[in-house]
């Protein structure tokens, strides 16, 4: 131990240079800021970051879509809903607010 | 009697000649009998008129003399009434009436020494060494030996009067000889036939000469002797079952022969074998000093051995029950099993790769545990004996059709009666492995998961498949992002050096997520990466798990000395992102107090000190009275010589937080419990457990906890002031005081 190191006011002559060669980090993905982790798709009742029934992998294979009304669903879920609606004669409506369903290009920025 | 019937028909006036003759005959018989008895007791007295401690050979000679006297007893003139049979009876009675207490034991010694003598003779012939002749049948010649056996058949004592010493000697000698032949010899084939050969060479002639060839055949002596050999074989082996198992598979020959010997015996030995085996396991294996790995290895070998011996699995079930119970109480059991299952050199990996792998059935697992626990007075059910041919007499016809035929994996999984636990544990291990996989190479894991799918079912492995795919996808994302990152990098910043494992968190076990703030140099890397990701995968975003990962650093300490020369010390270090952040701050400023650093990184003091210990051990930073400072180049140099690679335990932390996992699992049941208590008031632990078992049957959250686990959870809830537990063990809701 040098005496300088015990004295916080004395400037230490030793300096450090750090070269970062690699960072292997870990992250999780989400569907963005306006869907929280606890939100579930109202149709299948599973998390948006999870999968719709019958789909094996989340993410690209089970995307989330937004309607013009701002409500979000798994693509497979809302499709199933819309097909069912078309069969029973009704038009395609949002499963939540019953407004006319239209896919939104934006991500539910309302 | 014809005489009596004639007397009733003759006239009464005639003198009663019949009475007269009868009386005379009786008197004569009495006289003869008296003479016979007198001579018998005379012989007997003579027979015992020896010093009390005579060697076995003395007894043999006396017997020879006695038999000779019996055969040539000519001094009784009335030939027809002194048949050999009568005299023999009288003599036997007289001798055994006078026999001293040690008589029986003398006989046993005599029989034993005779047997050992012929054994030694045989042994010398077989092994060709004549060093030990420990048993002395002192100077009995072969002629005398022959005479002795002859006398024995004359006297006919062996089968009746001397039954006990005769049998005892047979058993004792057989046991000793079999022991010397087979003990601790597990890897030689043909030991049992060798023992049977010995029986034919030594035991059979000995018994034949002792009891006579006729009664030898009549009393099925050959079968009895074979049984004795089998029994001795089993008894010797039951003393060393533990070693037998420990040396598996080298002990395979011994296992096969033990099984054959068991077939030759019956019920009693099955029982004592099971008992001894069990005791052996309990005493030698199930203690705190044994490592879980060891226990599992022995358990697996035991299953393999018992599977060969009893295809029905019933013996196996009885013997290994304590092991299962013990393993259930150990914390790292599941982890050890899974490790062995997934590592290529593991015992179980081989088992996993078996061609005939069948899916584990939940019912089958339950079945194992729901039975009545076998107790020590377990008796082999008739089915075992029937199967083994003990009852039907068709030996060797052992069917292997039984469902429980010792499938090792299902036995191990059956310890807990649920495969969920194993799948979860595997997920946790897989998560660790995948996150520390710096090459994003998942071939091995894909292979293992495919194998596990065969056993645990497709559905159980779903999440694992997603996890593996996440890593594959991460590799693709990185190769897509790297190019734009490299182009955008400005010259004054670090070149992009970050790659990321991106997880679909729903499918992963809960990962560590303590919040903190990274140093700018690391944070900017993360931000850049996340921005590119958002562009590539819009609308998806990244959330960093800041504690996890792996950083490779080149650390350079340098000083300018008084003459303006620069001295430096360089070393490469691998650490976690947290460590890297902490050290990066020392680049800006060589001295930090704990408080400053803690404010800067938003970490708790405690955590910070723990992490900084890593750099102190690495001899980059030293702890001072006020905080931390860089150490001088000189110190760094000199410490390098004595540097010992010291693994910071925390550094090797598992990515998955175990506690979080358990807790989350239990949280599901909280609402059930609260509902139950608000409806029913006070309930004891057992009832809560039963009710959860009955009502929580959804596919996702089947209730599989033990009452102990439940109790721990309830205690937890009490601590959180949600429940309270009355002194008599009843739980109820804690009433909110409003």
Any idea what the Cα angle at residue B379 is, between residues B378 and B383, rounded to 5°? 130
Would you state the pLDDT for residue A33? 67
With H, G, I as helix, E, B as strand and everything else as coil, classify residue B669.
Answer: helix
| A91 to chain B, closest Cα gap in Å | 28
Which ranges of B419-518 does DSSP label H, i.e. alpha helix?
420-435, 443-456, 462-488
Q: List pLDDT tens digits, range A53-107.
A: 888 899 888 888 888 888 888 999 988 888 888 787 666 788 888 888 888 875 5
Over 70: is that where the pLDDT of A43 sits? Answer: yes
The pLDDT of A35-50, averaged and rounded, is 84
Over 60: is that where the pLDDT of B171 sits? Answer: yes
What are the Cα distances from residue B72, in Å, to A20, B300, B602?
114, 69, 116
The pLDDT of B240-266, averaged and rounded, is 84
- Tell me how far apart the alpha carbons of residues B184 and B91 are, in angstroms, rounded to a whole number: 48
CB-nearest partner of A18 from B438, B526, B587: B587
Q: How many CB atoms lie within 10 A of CB B195?
A: 22
Over 70: is that where the pLDDT of A7 sits? Answer: no
Over 90: is that where the pLDDT of B471 sits? Answer: yes
Over 50: is that where the pLDDT of B366 sits? Answer: no
The pLDDT of B311-317, averaged and rounded, is 75
Residue of A23, A34, A74 to mutate for B, most B C-beta atoms under 10 A = A23
- Tell me how far apart the alpha carbons of residues B640 and B441 are, in angstroms, rounded to a whole number: 35
Query: How is chain B split into domains, by residue range?
Result: 240-418, 419-535, 551-652, 658-733
Average of per-residue pLDDT values in chain B:
78
Would you state the pLDDT for residue B582? 92
10 Å CB burial of residue A34 (0-12, 13-18, 19+) is middle
The pLDDT of B92-106, averaged and rounded, is 81
Chain A residues in contact with B537 (beta carbon < 8 A):
29, 60
Position with higher pLDDT, B632 vs B551: B551
Position with higher pLDDT, B535 vs B312: B535
Position with higher pLDDT, A1 vs B224: B224
Would you state the pLDDT for residue B81? 47
The pLDDT of B685-706, averaged and rounded, is 73
Count of positions (residues) in chain A: 110
Would you state the pLDDT for residue B75? 52
B539/A64 Cβ within 8 A: yes
A14/B502 Cβ within 8 A: no
Over 50: is that where the pLDDT of B1 sits? Answer: no
Over 60: is that where the pLDDT of A109 sits? Answer: no
**B560 band by pLDDT with thresholds 50, 70 and 90:** confident
Would you state the pLDDT for residue B17? 77
CB-nearest partner of B500 from A27, A33, A58: A27
**B551 band by pLDDT with thresholds 50, 70 and 90:** very high
Per cent of chain A over pLDDT 70 is 81
Over 60: is that where the pLDDT of B364 sits? Answer: no
A13 contact B CB<8A: yes
Chain B residues in contact with A16 (beta carbon < 8 A):
555-558, 583, 586-587, 590, 620, 630
Element (H, E) at B529: helix B520-536
The pLDDT of B205-213, averaged and rounded, is 81
Would you state the pLDDT for residue B501? 92
Would you state the pLDDT for residue B580? 92
Any idea what the Cα angle at residue B554 is, between residues B549 and B559, rounded to 5°? 140
A17/B587 Cβ within 8 A: yes
Identical fold for domains B551-652 and B658-733, yes or no, is yes
Crossing angle of helices B17-48 and B56-71, rounded to 10°: 150
Q: List pLDDT tens digits, range B411-454.
A: 787 777 677 888 888 888 899 889 888 888 898 889 888 888 88
Would you state the pLDDT for residue B127? 61
Rg value, chain B, Cα: 43
Over 90: is that where the pLDDT of B468 sits? Answer: yes
CB-nearest partner of B626 from A8, A21, A64: A8
Average of per-residue pLDDT values in chain A:
79
Bridge partners for B520 per DSSP: none
The pLDDT of B77-101, averaged and rounded, is 72
- Least confident window among A7-16, A29-38, B150-159, B280-289: A7-16
Over 80: is that where the pLDDT of B707 sits? Answer: no
Which residue do the tokens 């196996």 mark? B316
Position with higher pLDDT, B727 vs B203: B203
Chain A residues in contact with B494 (beta carbon < 8 A):
20
Rg value, chain A, Cα: 25
Would you state the pLDDT for residue B134? 45
Distance of CA B123 to the CA centre of its chain: 37
Which ranges of B199-332 does DSSP label H, i.e. alpha helix?
204-211, 213-218, 221-238, 241-246, 252-264, 267-284, 292-309, 314-328
B558/A17 Cβ within 8 A: yes
Chain A residues in contact with B548 (beta carbon < 8 A):
25-26
**B664 band by pLDDT with thresholds 50, 70 and 90:** low
Would you state the pLDDT for residue B701? 58
B584/A29 Cβ within 8 A: no
Tokens of B47: 């027979």
- The residue among B554, B555, B548 whose CA lies nearest residue B526 is B548
Over 50: is that where the pLDDT of B281 sits? Answer: yes
Q: List pLDDT tens digits, range B22-56.
A: 888 888 888 877 777 777 777 777 777 766 566 66
The pLDDT of B265-291, averaged and rounded, is 83
Residue of B505, B575, B584 to mutate for A, most A C-beta atoms under 10 A = B505
Residue ranges and CATH numbers for the domains of chain A are 36-110 (3.30.40.10)
The pLDDT of B321-341, averaged and rounded, is 84
Would you state the pLDDT for residue B581? 92
Over 80: is that where the pLDDT of B698 sits? Answer: no
- Tell me how far apart the alpha carbons of residues B64 and B47 are, in angstroms, rounded to a whole number: 10
SS3 track for B318-359: HHHHHHHHHHHCCCCHHHHHHHHHHCCCCHHHHHHCCCCCCC
The pLDDT of B615-625, averaged and rounded, is 88
Q: Which CATH architecture has domain B551-652?
A: Orthogonal Bundle (1.10)
Over 60: is that where the pLDDT of B612 sits? Answer: yes
The pLDDT of B133-150, averaged and rounded, is 67
Over 60: is that where the pLDDT of B321 sits? Answer: yes
Over 60: is that where the pLDDT of B392 sits? Answer: no
What ipTM, to 2 d.p.?
0.86
What CATH number belongs to B658-733? 1.10.10.10
**B222 band by pLDDT with thresholds 50, 70 and 90:** confident
Bridge partners for A103 per DSSP: A67
Would you state the pLDDT for residue B274? 85
- Tell me how far apart the alpha carbons of residues B58 and B113 are, in angstroms, rounded to a whole number: 13
Q: How many CB atoms lie within 10 A of CB B366?
A: 13
**B502 band by pLDDT with thresholds 50, 70 and 90:** very high
Over 80: is that where the pLDDT of B645 sits? Answer: no
Would you state the pLDDT for residue B52? 59
**B538 band by pLDDT with thresholds 50, 70 and 90:** confident
| B570 to chain A, closest Cα gap in Å | 9
CB-CB contact of B419 with B460 (8 Å): yes
- Tell me how far apart the alpha carbons of residues B32 and B225 are, in angstroms, rounded to a whole number: 42
CB-CB contact of B255 with B247 (8 Å): no
Per cent of chain B over pLDDT 90 is 6
The pLDDT of B230-248, averaged and rounded, is 87
């Amino acid at each position: 131990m040098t005496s300088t190191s015990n004295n916080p006011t004395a400037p230490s002559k030793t300096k450090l240079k750090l070269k970062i060669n690699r960072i292997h980090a870990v992250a999780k993905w989400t569907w963005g800021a306006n869907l929280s982790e606890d939100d579930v798709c109202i149709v299948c009742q599973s998390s948006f970051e999870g999968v719709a029934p019958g789909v094996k992998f989340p993410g690209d294979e089970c995307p989330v879509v937004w309607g013009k009304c701002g409500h979000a669903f798994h693509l497979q879920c809302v499709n199933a809903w819309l097909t069912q609606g078309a069969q029973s004669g009704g038009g395609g409506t949002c499963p939540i607010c019953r407004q006319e369903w239209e896919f939104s290009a934006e991500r539910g920025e309302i | 009697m014809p005489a009596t019937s004639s007397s009733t028909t003759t006239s009464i006036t005639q003198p009663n000649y019949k009475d007269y003759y009868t009386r005379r005959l009786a008197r004569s018989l009495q006289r003869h009998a008296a003479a016979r008895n007198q001579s018998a007791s005379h012989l007997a007295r003579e027979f015992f008129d020896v010093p009390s401690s005579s060697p076995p050979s003395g007894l043999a000679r006396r017997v020879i003399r006695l038999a000779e006297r019996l055969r040539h007893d000519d001094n009784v003139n009335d030939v027809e009434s002194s048949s050999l049979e009568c005299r023999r009876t009288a003599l036997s009675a007289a001798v055994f009436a006078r026999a001293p207490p040690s008589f029986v034991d003398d006989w046993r010694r005599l029989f034993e020494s005779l047997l050992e003598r012929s054994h030694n003779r045989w042994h010398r012939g077989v092994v060709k060494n004549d060093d030990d002749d420990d048993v002395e049948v002192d100077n009995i010649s072969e002629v005398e030996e022959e005479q002795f056996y002859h006398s024995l058949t004359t006297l006919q004592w062996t089968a009746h009067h001397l039954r006990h010493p005769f049998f005892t000697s047979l058993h004792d000698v057989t046991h000793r000889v079999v022991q010397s032949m087979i003990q601790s010899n597990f890897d030689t084939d043909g030991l049992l036939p060798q023992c049977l050969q010995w029986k034919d060479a030594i035991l059979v002639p000995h018994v034949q000469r002792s009891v006579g060839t006729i009664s030898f055949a009549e009393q099925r002596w050959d079968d009895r002797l074979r049984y004795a050999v089998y029994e001795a074989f089993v008894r010797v082996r039951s003393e060393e079952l533990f070693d037998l198992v420990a040396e598996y598979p080298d002990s395979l020959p011994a296992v096969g022969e033990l099984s054959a010997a068991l077939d030759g015996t019956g019920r009693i030995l099955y029982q004592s074998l099971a008992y001894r085996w069990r005791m052996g396991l309990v005493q030698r294996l199930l203690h705190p000093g044994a490592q879980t790995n060891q226990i599992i290895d022995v358990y697996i070998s035991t299953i393999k051995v018992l599977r060969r011996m009893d295809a029905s699995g019933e013996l196996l079930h009885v013997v290994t029950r304590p092991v299962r119970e013990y393993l259930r109480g150990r914390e790292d059991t599941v982890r050890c099993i899974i490790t062995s299952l997934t590592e290529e050199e593991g015992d179980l990996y081989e088992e996993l790769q078996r061609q005939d792998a069948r899916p584990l059935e939940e019912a089958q697992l339950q079945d194992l545990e729901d039975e009545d626990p076998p107790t020590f007075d377990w008796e082999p059910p008739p089915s075992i004996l029937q199967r083994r041919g003990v009852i039907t007499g068709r030996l060797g016809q052992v069917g292997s059709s039984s469902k429980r035929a010792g499938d090792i994996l299902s036995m191990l999984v059956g310890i807990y009666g649920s495969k969920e636990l194993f799948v979860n544990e595997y997920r946790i291990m897989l998560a660790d492995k995948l996150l520390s996989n710096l090459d994003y190479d998942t071939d091995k894991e894909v292979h293992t998961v495919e194998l596990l799918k065969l056993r645990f079912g497709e559905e159980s492995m779903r999440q694992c498949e997603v996890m593996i795919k996440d890593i594959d996808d991460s590799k693709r994302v990185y190769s897509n992002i790297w190019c734009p990152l490299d182009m955008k990098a400005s010259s004054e910043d670090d070149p992009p050096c970050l790659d990321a494992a991106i997880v679909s968190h729903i499918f992963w076990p809960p990962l560590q997520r303590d919040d903190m703030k990274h140093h700018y140099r690391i944070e900017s890397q993360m931000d850049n990466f996340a921005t590119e990701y958002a562009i590539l995968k819009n609308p998806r975003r990244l959330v960093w798990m800041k504690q996890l990962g792996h950083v490779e650093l080149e650390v350079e300490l340098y000083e300018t000395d008084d003459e303006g020369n620069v001295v430096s010390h360089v070393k490469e270090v691998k650490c976690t992102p947290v460590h890297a952040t902490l050290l990066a701050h020392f680049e800006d400023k060589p001295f930090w107090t704990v408080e400053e650093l803690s404010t800067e990184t938003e970490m708790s003091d405690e955590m910070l000190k723990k992490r900084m210990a890593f750099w102190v051990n690495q001899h980059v930073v030293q702890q001072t009275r006020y905080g931390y400072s860089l150490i001088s180049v000189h110190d760094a140099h000199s410490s390098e010589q004595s540097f010992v690679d010291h693994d910071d335990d925390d550094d090797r932390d598992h990515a998955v937080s175990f506690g979080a996992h358990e807790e989350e699992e239990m949280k599901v049941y909280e609402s059930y419990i609260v509902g139950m208590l608000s409806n029913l008031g006070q309930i004891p632990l057992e009832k809560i457990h039963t009710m959860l078992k009955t009502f929580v049957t959804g596919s996702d959250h089947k209730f599989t906890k033990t009452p102990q686990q439940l109790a721990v959870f309830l205690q937890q809830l009490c601590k959180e002031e949600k429940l309270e537990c009355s002194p008599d063990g009843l739980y109820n809701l804690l009433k909110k005081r409003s």
